Amino acid sequence: MKNNEKIIGIFGGSSFLAKYAIEKLCKQGYRIKIGTRRPWLVNNLKTIMGSPGQIEVIKTNIFNSESVKNLLNNCDYCINFCGQLCEKKITFGQLHAHWPEMLAKISNKLNIKKLIHISALNPLQNHPSKYMSSKMLGEDGIKNNIKNYFILRPSLVIGNGDDDFFSTFGMLAQLSPVIPIPGTGKNLFSPVHVSDCADAIAKLLETENLKDKIFEITGPKNYSFKNLIEIFLKEIKRKRILVSIPWRIMKIQSYFLQYLPKPFTITPDQILLLKNDSIPTGKFPLLKDLGINPKDINSIFKYWIRYRTGGEFNK
């Protein structure tokens, strides 16, 4: 482990990507302060990832400016992983738009050297999906309130552990001979391994004088939704019937499916999100511009040990 005196304030520390990033940053010697409203979800990180005293977990209300300031006090850097795919008690506007703007203002006042914000690929203010339009508003809130920012826009993030995409279809493959495919299944993704995303965060913290502020975090190849499921089923050695469901039918079904427990929750807003491709635009730098060669999905699967139940993956 490297010696490092820098302190990083992290919000959304229980997320899939955050756990990978925290592990990597701990190995590089950073001190970590994790702000969360549910400390018990991340307390285990203190023992499995960091050295004694390296990780501090602080109960934090991200919508209370004083609570946020308390967490960021004495921090050099800040990383925001907060996000949600489904609206519940907290709206997309609150979490994806209002919160990043407030965080940028506080970080600026506290002279945070770098603020890294995890957004989403291809956000638009007029996007039909509230999730995606709120992501764009959040980016604007950061750009307008702090100069020392970096925004990462990942495509579909995959990897061992809490990968919602393949875990969901793994469970479906256990329970049903039929796998539903939204629309024709031709919508495109550029899946990126979670460890490559974590590497990008570490690179941005280490590198000085970067001119680029926004990075598209994607894999080396584009795959259709249907192709991803076919590759997955081949790897887990399961034969299942793929059935295309028209978008209008999927949207009607989603009004009922949104009330199912995870990982089977599908909301009307997610249907609008799925109808659009999640591939790089070519307008922003990629992982390769940070010196990172992203892993292709076909080279990743063979390292995963697949369990016959639950659709979970671990190295």
Please indicate, yes or no, if residue 211 is contained in any of the structural domains.
no
In a domain, 56, yes or no: yes
- 103 within some domain: yes
pLDDT per residue over 204-238, tens digit each?
Answer: 999 988 888 999 999 999 999 999 988 888 887 88
Partners of residue 58 on adjacent β-strands = 35
Bridge-partner residues for 29, per DSSP?
none
DSSP 144: T
Q: Per the domain annotation, does 219 fall within a domain?
A: no
Omega cis (within 30) before 285: no
Residue with tokens 């495509």: 155
Domain count, the chain: 1
Beta bridge partners of 150: 116
Q: What is the pTM of this model?
A: 0.89
In a domain, 285, yes or no: no
- Whether residue 241 is contained in a domain is answered as no
Q: What is the pLDDT of residues 80-112, one digit of tens each?
A: 999 998 888 899 999 999 999 999 999 999 999
| Structural domain includes residue 225 | no
Note the Cα 149 to chain centre separation in Å. Answer: 18
214 within domain boundaries = no
CATH number at residue 83: 3.40.50.720
pLDDT digits (tens, 9 = 90+) for 282-301: 999 999 999 999 999 877 76
Q: Is 138 helix (H, G, I), strand (E, B) or coil?
A: helix
Domain that holds residue 22: 7-154
Beta bridge partners of residue 31, listed in sequence order: 7
- Which amino acid is residue 315, in one-letter code? K
